[in-house]
């Protein structure tokens, strides 16, 4: 998938040097002995502005869902007093295991589950996004990914740089998220449809979202220390949590291997400056490959934004065969607005479909919630 080791950073990854390349200056392709001409891109890249705007909107959406859910929980905790807002089913996006369980239940039975159906629709939306647009969910939508990214920026300011772990350590740690994923897939994979349904209908399954809220509201010292260490890790190493530990990202990364849209490089237009590889938060050797297949690629387009060469690097379908570089990309490039549009289309499409077919909300009476919500912390896992 990926080839050869990188060229020495000190020679080719000096961001100040690349920032001062004169327009259309001639550059020597290191190690290849032939000169290439930099044709600067005519239109400045806007991918990062658009991506950050999408991230911001999704953070706001999640904050709103979180507040609404908190008020809903408080209503029941206070015995039905105070402001009542309907339960926002969108919080089930934070229940990926329920999403996976419900997806399996649906595939086995053809029936949409009654408990946490929104978790399944959101899970399906995020999987579909990864199937089409690499792990764009992680770098464009996921609030944890957004937090990781900004912690990395903060760390860069604080320490003057982000760190990359030695290759072998990095590879070993990256395997952790697949081990975690394997554990969940094994446990869920061995459950029958009846067992899945039975689990969801237990008070514990029904209150999974309330228990998650309570975990953060009443966080213990150990959990706070672990979260603090993970945040520190993300300041030191870009996307620490996503890169090493997130099983959801691992699953989406595996799905993303099928994506027809990838980061692709035109070797003729590329001047081999290495700026893209230096900029890539996933540490991928973008400058050495004609396409990035890696499960680590999040489709963030940071590499595309960093490249100053016209038509050298794109997020695209397979390029056409043509003698002229520009023609190879004709109707093949998926620009940042198109990415944002596709993400919105998939997300809203599945949410609106679930709402229109009356499968969005968990159908549970107020009396049951009145009984269970205040007791959520006392509910033990049915397997214990
Ligand atoms: S694709 Fe990468 S190596 Fe090639 S010109 Fe662009 S930034 Fe430089
Ligand atoms: S290859 Fe490009 S799109 Fe993929 S993770 Fe690296 S910077 Fe982001």
- The rounded distance, in Å, linking the Cα atoms of 49 and 43 is 14
How many A from CA of 30 to the centre of ligand 1? 12
Residue nearest to atom 5 of ligand 2 (CA): 297
Predicted confidence band of residue 383 (pLDDT cuts 50, 70, 90): low
Predicted confidence band of residue 38 (pLDDT cuts 50, 70, 90): confident
Check: CB of residue 165 under 8 Å from CB of residue 176. Answer: no
Residues near 352 by beta carbon (within 8 Å), at least 6 away in sequence: none
Calculate the average pLDDT of the chain: 90
pTM: 0.88
How many residues in total does the chain contain? 384
Across 343-347, average pLDDT: 98
Question: Ligand 2: which of 45, 135, 145, 301 to mutate, judged by most atoms within 8 Å of the beta carbon?
Answer: 301
Residue nearest to atom 6 of ligand 2 (CA): 280
Residue nearest to atom 4 of ligand 2 (CA): 297
Pull the structure tokens for residue 301: 């387009």
pLDDT tens by residue, 177-188: 999 999 999 999
pLDDT of residue 119: 98
- The rounded distance, in Å, linking the Cα atoms of 119 and 66 is 15
Check: CB of residue 104 under 8 Å from CB of residue 185. Answer: no
How many A from CA of 297 to the centre of ligand 2? 5
Check: CB of residue 207 under 8 Å from CB of residue 374. Answer: no
The full 3-state SS of the chain, as one line of letters, equals CCCCCCCCHHHHCCHHHHHCCCCCCEEECCCCCCEEECCECCCCCCHHHHHHHHHHHHHHHHHHHHHHHHHHHHHHHCCCCCCCCCCCHHHHHHCHHHHHHHHHHHHHHCCCCCCCHHHHHHHHHHHHHHHHHCCHHHHHHCHHHHHHHHHHHHHHHHHCCCCCCCHHHHHHHHHHHHHHHHHHHHHHHCCCHHHHHHHHHCHHHHCHHHHHHHHHHCCCHHHHHHHHHHHHHHHHCCCHHHHHCCHHHHHHHHHHCCCCCEEEECCCCCCCCCHHHHHCCCCCCHHHCCECCCCCCCCCCHHHHHCCECCCEEEECCCCCCCCHHHHCCCCECCHHHHHHHHHHHHHHHHHHHHHCCCCCCCCCHHHHHHHHHHHHHCCCCCC
Give me the residues paired with residue 314 across strands: 264
Across 283-293, average pLDDT: 97
Predicted confidence band of residue 37 (pLDDT cuts 50, 70, 90): confident
Matching residue, tokens 């006392």: 378
Q: Which ligand 2 atom sits closest to the C-alpha of 296?
A: 5
How many A from CA of 286 to the centre of ligand 2? 8
pLDDT of residue 384: 57
Across 176-205, average pLDDT: 96
User: Torsions phi, psi of 262, nearest 5?
Assistant: -140, 170
Ligand number with the minimum distance to the CA of 316 = 2
Is residue 364 pLDDT above 70, yes or no?
Answer: yes
């Amino acid at each position: 998938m990926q080839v050869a080791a990188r060229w020495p950073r000190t020679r080719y990854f000096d961001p100040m040097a690349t920032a001062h390349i004169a327009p259309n200056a001639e550059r020597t392709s290191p190690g290849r002995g032939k000169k290439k001409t930099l044709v600067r891109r005519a239109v400045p890249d806007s991918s990062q502005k658009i991506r950050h705007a999408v991230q911001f909107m999704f953070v706001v959406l999640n904050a709103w869902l979180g507040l609404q859910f908190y008020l809903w929980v408080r209503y029941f905790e206070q015995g039905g007093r105070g402001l009542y807002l309907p339960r926002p089913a969108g919080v089930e996006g934070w229940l990926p295991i329920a999403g996976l369980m419900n997806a399996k239940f649906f595939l086995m039975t053809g029936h949409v589950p009654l408990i946490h159906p929104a978790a399944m629709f959101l899970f399906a939306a995020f999987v579909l996004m990864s199937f089409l647009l690499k792990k764009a969910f992680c770098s464009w939508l996921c609030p944890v990914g957004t937090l990781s990214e900004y912690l990395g920026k903060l760390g860069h300011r604080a320490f003057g740089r982000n760190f990359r772990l030695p290759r072998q350590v990095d590879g070993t740690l990256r395997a952790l998220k697949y081990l975690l994923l394997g554990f969940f897939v094994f446990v869920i994979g061995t459950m029958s449809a009846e067992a899945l349904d039975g689990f969801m209908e237990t008070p514990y399954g029904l209150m999974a979202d309330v228990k998650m809220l309570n975990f953060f509201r009443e966080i213990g010292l150990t959990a706070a220390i672990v979260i603090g260490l993970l945040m520190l890790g993300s300041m030191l190493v870009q996307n620490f949590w996503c890169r090493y530990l997130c099983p959801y990202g691992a699953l989406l990364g595996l799905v993303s291997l099928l994506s027809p849209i990838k980061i692709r490089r035109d070797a003729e237009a590329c001047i081999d400056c290495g700026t893209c590889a230096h900029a890539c938060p996933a540490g991928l050797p973008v400058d050495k490959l004609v396409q990035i297949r890696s499960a680590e690629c999040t489709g963030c387009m940071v590499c595309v934004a960093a490249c100053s060469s016209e038509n050298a690097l794109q997020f695209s379908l397979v390029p056409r065969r043509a003698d002229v570089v520009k023609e190879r990309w004709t109707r093949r490039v998926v620009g940042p607005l198109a990415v944002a549009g596709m993400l919105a289309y998939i997300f809203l499409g599945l949410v609106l479909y679930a709402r229109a077919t009356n499968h969005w909300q968990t159908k549970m009476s107020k009396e049951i919630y009145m009984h269970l919500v205040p007791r959520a912390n006392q509910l033990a896992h049915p397997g214990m």
